Structure 1
Amino acid sequence: MAVDVISSLNTNGSGLNITQLAKDLTQAETSAKRSIVTDRIDKAEVSLSALDRLRTQFESLDSAVGAAASASATSITSDNSAIVLTSEDTENLVMGDTTIAVEQMAQQQVLAFGGFSGETDTLAGGTLVIDFGSWDDAEPSAFTADATKTQQTITIAEGTTLAELADQITALDGLAASIIDVGDGTFSLGVLTDYGAKNAVRFTATQDDPASTNTAIDVLDMTDQVEDVQMQAAMNAQLKVNGITITRPSNDIDDVIPGVSFTVAGYSDYMATVSVEINTTAAEEAMQGLVDAFNTTLKMLDTMTDRGYAGSAAGDLAGDSAINGLRREFERSLNQGISGYGDRTYYLSDLGVRTERDGTLTLDTNALEDAMTNSPQIFEAILRDGLSSPTAGVELSGTPGTTAIAGRYSLTRDTVTGTAFVNGIELVNEGTEDGITTYTATSGNLRGVSFKLEDGVENAIIDFGRSFISNFQDSMDKWLSSSGAMSRRENSIGDSISDDSTMLDSIDASAEAKEAYYLTRFTQMEMVVTTLNNTGDYLESLIDAWNNSNN
């Protein structure tokens, strides 16, 4: 109770605690309104806290979905250290075993021009013409220039040092040069080419002044033979793949086993076997992880939007139309089909994901195993975008933009003019090499995709599919964005709290003014009562005095 100082000092007043009376009257007039606004703020803050927890769960789900996109349901192994696996293209993998025997590794040509006294040896002026091609196995070897490679010429100024010449050679594509201390007091100019038989070189040196006192450059001339300076011949890799002999210019090979890249790392006494197998366990782990993440979010949405029927407590977001709408979108996204992977549409249910009566998901592992055995491409379609063509003689590369529409596209080409179109949009012709013409899409849905067409291809089908993961992440980005459902609701509730806080301040200010008004009026009343009581006391005293005088 408030201490009424005025009433305490004024012992001849009404005796009422006018300070407490002013407070009580003010509270009676404002408490109901204040309680309504306070309750509204409390509920809004509970909703805001629930939205924050829901956002955190959605962000966690987004991370889980992103992690699932990198899952692989294939197992690729090599049983021999001579074949080292380097990467895989899951879209193009073909299940099965491939045997590989290494008969010859690809080699660089290694040249050594000796007899120099050091890096600072100065050379006579002239030219060094470099041809790229191959040397045969005859004695002496004969050189055949590669017509597809441009002849290079180095101009050697009079007095150029050996080190400077090495730098000039290294500056050319396909060559690297260095100065090597042989250890017997002499130095050699070492030259390395790229791997492959056709990447060998022939140097033709022509000196400007035969009488130059600097070191003659004819030591670099290989016009007639290569044996004196060639330490290692350039060679192709030669492998026997499933019994068929093949050659490649490099030890890094990506076109022998569909979807598998490997490096020839050495020789072995036994044949290597590269196995590509379905890994059902990995697929089950990936799908179960998705199901668990989805269920956690579904249960949170259920709890938060529960209206509290049958005596249960209502959720923190019960009756929130925005979040109920978000929940419906979330559930629809789990049942959406994905196209662009051929003639049919795929669903999560194709991999054994079932929706139960309570809305949660379960994984039928038997159905998943059956799908992985008979249709493993569905797993890839669920997790990763796909770009492919069922048309022979077509090779695709690149990635369409995020706004590209999934579906089947038609490519047409005029083999006379060389012009090509995808769904009516012209492609850029990048040129033809070895009978294969490369085109690039610079606009349209497939912008960024490169098309390699063999001669004779006039029409082709191009399939572009957006995976379930990509579509779901697009939805997640929308829901979590600054303009998404959650942000709009958070902003709306925040504005409501701000408005109600302002209203609460107004109610408090009004109450304070009202209380002051009552206190002023009651004080005035107290003054009147005090005056009346003092007058009464005076009259009583006067009457008592009169009575005493009469006696």
Structure 2
Amino acid sequence: MAIDILSKLNTGGSGLDLVNLSSQLAAATYEPRRALLTARMDRADLSASALDRVTARMSDLTATLQAAAGIDTLSAKSSAPGLVDVTLSDASLAPARPVEIEVLGLAQSQVLEFGGFSGPDQVLGGGTLTIDIGRWQGDPPVFTANPAQSGAQLVVPAGATLTQLAEALSSLPGVTARAIEVGDGSWSLGILSETGAASSLRIAASADAAPDIAALDFAADPRPVERRVASDALLTVDGIAVLRPTNQIDDLIPGLSLGLSGVTTAPVTIRAETDPRTALAVMEGLVEEFNGLKSLLQQVTARGGNGAEPGALAGDAGVMSLLRELDAMLAGGMSGFGPQPIFLADVGLRTERDGRLSLDKSVFEAAFSADPSRFRSVLQDNLASTGPGVAINGMPARGATPGRYEFLRDPATGAATLNGVALTPVAEADGQTSYRVATGPLSGIVLTVEPGVTRSTIDFGRSLASQLSTWIDAATGRDGVISRKQDRLEASLAQDGDAIETLGTQAAAYEARMRARFAEMEKVITQLNSTGEYLTSLIDSFNAQR
């Protein structure tokens, strides 16, 4: 227990509790300022806690959006499976509308037959074979080498068998060979190319080749040994004829892979469909998370009144701006998903009077049944050509404006524009032309165009999920509204904490000064009291002698 020495010694002075008086004077001088700082720190703590809750809710919504985007609600379907099979390769690129396919011819390999062999073990003479890959055209046929395929030379040693020759040929790229029993006691050497007109083979024998090796030479004309001509797959996509070197086609319809197995007699419909039950569950989860965030923002920014306490962020202009941006996002239509904007009400989402979302299941199911592609406007961005023959790679810059853009091309010169912005053509080896969009609203994408395409419409749309993610990133990013507010609160708390610590130091020093002054005062009072007692005693003595 501390001993109040000043009070113990103060027996002949003023009689006041000078230690307590010093403390009270220090408190009266500094406590009001400390109380103001403490109250401000308490409010800042409440605001910081509210921001942490908002940030956590935004993180929850972001996680829900990411999970929803990863749920496979799409499946690819063909109206003629077995003839035209389709698989989903990239759900984000799959077309929103059905595509009609007609297969007029399958891609085929070149088949060559060299007969007259006695058996698979027939011993052959030696020689060198030069195998080139390319295209035979015209009558008489002329060979043009495929620049994308390199030729090869095969040295056949004397004494090799027919089977060994077939195995050696099969080891070369683009060649398959086998010894085949014909059925009349003789054997043939069958040689196949890969599918596609530009994958045909040309074989030339060296001048010193043995007769049985020289018989494989058809460098001048393949027709005497050609049993089937190599050809491309010929098909139409929404009426536009296209060629492909294989029957497995991955670069024709964005997001879908086609497998051709036969010629069709009527158009085949290809579509990417969304499962309605999965889509509904995704929508309900999204609405729940969105409403949780919206309710929290309304709670922390409430101004109070009618007995209600104001929110921890009441009157904060930055956080209030987030609410306004959110309301504007819900009210605006989503362009780039077709000729007309899609509004949330079109897919059964409605904004209630309290600002929260509600999902009308009957409206959603009816809208989904009529046009499943509308659901994609909620979860997935759209970047697609409305017509065939145009493949799109890449994504526009973050600030790209959603909408519909017109691609026009001069087939004679290859010059093209996208919404009036000139594009530079780059010829590809397969006959297609690439256009890198370096400027303009869709800068960053690359269009790869089939030779016959002269125009197409490019749709670019940002989904509600994408807009929400961008809004959250902007709010919580380093320069976002929430981050800046958190930085200000942290700086204010640190500054006020330092100020309170300084006030404590000043109050202690002030109290010490008061005690020192009171001690001096007590000395004077004690001396005066002592003098007074002496004078009183002297007067009393004087009066007693009279």
Measured against the shorter chain, the TM-score band is 0.7 to 0.9
1:451-470 alignment, distance < 5 Å: 451-455=448-452, 457=454, 459-470=455-466
Q: Do residues 87 (structure 1) and 89 (structure 2) align?
A: yes
Q: 2:132 aligned to 124, 130, 137, which one?
A: 130
Q: 2:287 aligned to 287, 291, 297, which one?
A: 291
For 2:28, the equivalent position in structure 1 comes to 28
Q: Deviations over 1:418-460 (max 9, x none)?
A: 3112233221222277875443323322232314154372x54
Paired residues of 2:385 and 2:459 also in contact (CA < 8 A): yes
* Distance (whole Å) between structure 2 residues aligned to residue 147 and residue 411 of structure 1: 33
- 1:277, CA displacement in angstroms? 4.5
For 2:217, the equivalent position in structure 1 comes to 223
What SS is found at the alignment partner of 2:27? helix
- 1:96, CA displacement in angstroms? 10
* Distance (whole Å) between structure 1 residues aligned to residue 535 and residue 94 of structure 2: 113
Q: Deviations over 1:332-387 (max 9, x none)?
A: 21222121233311111110101112221110011111111222222223332223
* Distance (whole Å) between structure 2 residues aligned to residue 428 and residue 519 of structure 1: 88
1:8-23 alignment, distance < 5 Å: 8-23=8-23
* Distance (whole Å) between structure 2 residues aligned to residue 301 and residue 426 of structure 1: 46
Cα gap change, 1:540/1:420 in structure 2, threshold over 3 Å: closer, same or farther? Answer: same
Q: Do residues 327 (structure 1) and 329 (structure 2) align?
A: no
For 1:280, the equivalent position in structure 2 comes to 276
* Distance (whole Å) between structure 1 residues aligned to residue 464 and residue 356 of structure 2: 18
Q: What's the Cα RMSD here?
A: 5.3
Paired residues of 1:409 and 1:463 also in contact (CA < 8 A): yes
Cα gap change, 1:321/1:252 in structure 2, threshold over 3 Å: closer, same or farther? Answer: same
* Distance (whole Å) between structure 1 residues aligned to residue 389 and residue 508 of structure 2: 83
* Distance (whole Å) between structure 2 residues aligned to residue 513 and residue 171 of structure 1: 96
Identify unmatched segments of 5+ residues in structure 1.
Answer: 116-123, 135-142, 163-167, 178-190, 211-215, 227-232, 240-245, 266-272
Cα gap change, 1:152/1:30 in structure 2, threshold over 3 Å: closer, same or farther? Answer: closer
Q: Do residues 404 (structure 1) and 390 (structure 2) align?
A: no
1:243-254 alignment, distance < 5 Å: 250=246, 252-254=248-250
Cα gap change, 1:451/1:294 in structure 2, threshold over 3 Å: closer, same or farther? Answer: same
Paired residues of 1:87 and 1:262 also in contact (CA < 8 A): no
For 1:38, the equivalent position in structure 2 comes to 38
Cα gap change, 1:261/1:19 in structure 2, threshold over 3 Å: closer, same or farther? Answer: same
2:36 corresponds to which letter in structure 1?
I
* Distance (whole Å) between structure 2 residues aligned to residue 328 and residue 275 of structure 1: 39
* Distance (whole Å) between structure 2 residues aligned to residue 258 and residue 491 of structure 1: 45
- 1:34, CA displacement in angstroms? 1.4
* Distance (whole Å) between structure 2 residues aligned to residue 274 and residue 344 of structure 1: 23
2:370 corresponds to which letter in structure 1?
N
Paired residues of 2:96 and 2:373 also in contact (CA < 8 A): no
Q: 1:366 aligned to 362, 368, 373, which one?
A: 362
* Distance (whole Å) between structure 1 residues aligned to residue 49 and residue 463 of structure 2: 33
Cα gap change, 1:400/1:520 in structure 2, threshold over 3 Å: closer, same or farther? Answer: same
Q: 1:149 aligned to 116, 122, 146, which one?
A: 146
For 1:509, the equivalent position in structure 2 comes to 505
* Distance (whole Å) between structure 2 residues aligned to residue 155 and residue 461 of structure 1: 48
Cα gap change, 1:45/1:259 in structure 2, threshold over 3 Å: closer, same or farther? Answer: closer
Cα gap change, 1:416/1:258 in structure 2, threshold over 3 Å: closer, same or farther? Answer: closer
Paired residues of 2:402 and 2:462 also in contact (CA < 8 A): yes
- 1:519, CA displacement in angstroms? 0.8
* Distance (whole Å) between structure 2 residues aligned to residue 461 and residue 293 of structure 1: 36
Paired residues of 1:435 and 1:455 also in contact (CA < 8 A): no
For 1:450, the equivalent position in structure 2 comes to 447
Paired residues of 1:384 and 1:467 also in contact (CA < 8 A): yes
Q: TM-score, normalised by structure 2?
A: 0.72
Cα gap change, 1:67/1:334 in structure 2, threshold over 3 Å: closer, same or farther? Answer: farther
Query: How many corresponding residue pairs?
Result: 497
1:161-176 alignment, distance < 5 Å: 174=174
Q: TM-score, normalised by structure 1?
A: 0.72
* Distance (whole Å) between structure 1 residues aligned to residue 341 and residue 201 of structure 2: 55
